[in-house]
Chain A
């Protein structure tokens, strides 16, 4: 076996064992890991739009919200609907995809920063609707959100309860972990395959120079729309999983701050580079949790009392990190190797 294969096997084993180890530390950590995977999933979805096609989307969380509310409405006592997951997840993805196309169609001729602001406005509109669509007809239940959402259930396997396989207890969150991991592998595969595909190259061409791409025969409008719709569908799937996992959704989970967070993951890690984006998402998911657990004791030890709330400090660090990263590594921490490779190919020829 080559070293690469051994490496992959070791990583796979570590990933498989992770929830069991974390369960020993505390189920809360399994949940944190699950959310981290969900965020990697989301940032890879956004990577298609922002990283590959270069379309700055500040309202990505709107699609996440569409997916989450689709699941919430189709599988909860709110409308007394309890559809199975294999029906809801595609419907959620489809709704998100349609929302993406609806937003994309009229706005794709806009230049980068204008597009950013329009998508931002769109995200806010979706949030305002979620907040207010409780009267006169109660669709979203307003700011209170929707509770008692069905979890994921495949056949007889309920993902809420603890099951015993091979003498090991698998808690609910641990089982979700494996599902999310599977989904993550899928989205990674899609991202990697797209990178070298005709479409992926078309996206990069548009990102680098739209006029030249058009001149080269790329139907820029449709290709951009495809990026938008595809990114949105991934957001929808992630939203559905989020609703199933939490059992509760409310507009509060889908504020602009989340969009910015996901975008920051993509940009910080290195737009367009799948591994960079994953690293960025991991970094931004775990560092805040780490700060949450260390900031308070550290301050108490140093100053004897809590000077700055952990949440506030976390955001200050986050904001400063964004500024500094852009200042010193404008292409992200691990930028894609596209340019480098192009250079080398040029030399060989």
Chain B
């Protein structure tokens, strides 16, 4: 199997999900310069709601095609998440818009703890197996010895691209989108021009939450599992993706998401090979310190694929250190 090609396919799949979640972070940040810390939990709730609906429909024995069942799950998750996004904005952000920056961050953490444990209360502590009703056919790429791409992967990538295109059209071509961008540019001036700034800010939360709902279903179907803690790491990675691309920038979030997915997949795919001490001269080969162990085991892997989650954080730290404004972001001056 061609590892490189396979990891690129896997990376593009997870990367599209990161991109969709990252859009939610970046839109909110673009408008009010705050990190919506609870965004990851919205993704989780989306996955859970969809899971419940899909389970119910699949168990009811109706003669529905699998595609329709998953679609019903998505359509149920979207309004729930949108309501949740609105609620978050009203409860955790709007009252604190003029408070010190730290305050909304703490309320967001509070909300995210509450959401996580509400989910724990409703859906239980154990991971829920997402019903695999979609027929997951694999297509071979590059002939024998090539890689495989599954229909779920194709669906995720295509749907993400469609969502990204749709959002871009919405933000750049509709009146509503222009109003959102005006608010992001300058809340006060936008208000003077007749834009209802409060409504626009709430709208970014709601739109981000709708995207999060779709992302939640994608993750659930892809990994086949949903868990009340799944939102946290996913949210953190998506945030890293948004920062990587340049937070506040839509195209940046998309690019950052895909790049982060690729880095993570390739890193995970190759790290054990790279850090196999037996392949290193002086240490493993001939006369090295580990000759005996290498002869016995064949490999002495320093870092295996269990370090997968480290990559996203490493990328985040490196980006912030060397290019704090991200790949496509403009330089942000310090707020006085």
A contacts, CB < 8 Å to B:
56, 106-107, 109-114, 116-118, 120-122, 124-125, 128-129, 131-132, 135-136, 209-211, 256, 260, 263-264, 267, 308, 312, 315-316, 318-323, 326-327, 330
B110 at the interface (CB under 8 A from A): yes
Closest beta carbon of chain A to B99's beta carbon, Å: 5
Contact A323 B111 (CB under 8 A): yes
Binding site of B, secondary structure by majority: helix, strand, loop or mixed? helix
Given contacts A120-B236, A121-B316, contact A315 B110 (CB under 8 A): no
Which residue on B lies nearest to A328, using beta carbons?
A: B95
B334 at the interface (CB under 8 A from A): yes
When the two chains form the complex, which single residue of A114, A124, A321, A323 contacts B243, counting CB atoms closer than 8 Å? A114
Q: Which residues of B contact A322 (CB under 8 A)?
A: 106-107, 109-110, 113
Q: Which residues of A contact B314 (CB under 8 A)?
A: 125
Distance, CA A112 to CA B105, complexed state (A)? 10
B131 at the interface (CB under 8 A from A): no
Q: Which residues of A contact B34 (CB under 8 A)?
A: 113
B310 at the interface (CB under 8 A from A): yes
Q: Which residues of B contact A319 (CB under 8 A)?
A: 109-114, 117
Q: Which residues of B contact A210 (CB under 8 A)?
A: 334
Which residue on A lies nearest to B113, using beta carbons?
A: A319
When the two chains form the complex, which single residue of A132, A260, A316 contacts B306, counting CB atoms closer than 8 Å? A132
When the two chains form the complex, which single residue of A117, A256, A320, A327 contacts B239, counting CB atoms closer than 8 Å? A117
B60 at the interface (CB under 8 A from A): no
Contact B334 A320 (CB under 8 A): no
The digit string for B241-274, where 1 denotes a CB below 8 A from any CB of A, is 0010000000000000000000000000000000
Q: Which residues of A contact B104 (CB under 8 A)?
A: 326
Contact B317 A308 (CB under 8 A): no
Contact B105 A107 (CB under 8 A): no
Contact A124 B309 (CB under 8 A): yes
When the two chains form the complex, which single residue of A113, A128, A330 contacts B35, counting CB atoms closer than 8 Å? A113
The digit string for B30-47, where 1 denotes a CB below 8 A from any CB of A, is 000011000000000000
When the two chains form the complex, which single residue of A111, A129, A267 contacts B106, counting CB atoms closer than 8 Å? A267
Closest beta carbon of chain A to B17's beta carbon, Å: 19
Which residue on A lies nearest to B275, using beta carbons?
A: A136
Contact A315 B117 (CB under 8 A): yes
Distance, CA A263 to CA B108, complexed state (A)? 14
Mark the stretch among B74-82, B214-222, B297-305 that contacts chain A.
B297-305
Which residue on A lies nearest to B278, using beta carbons?
A: A136
Contact B103 A132 (CB under 8 A): no
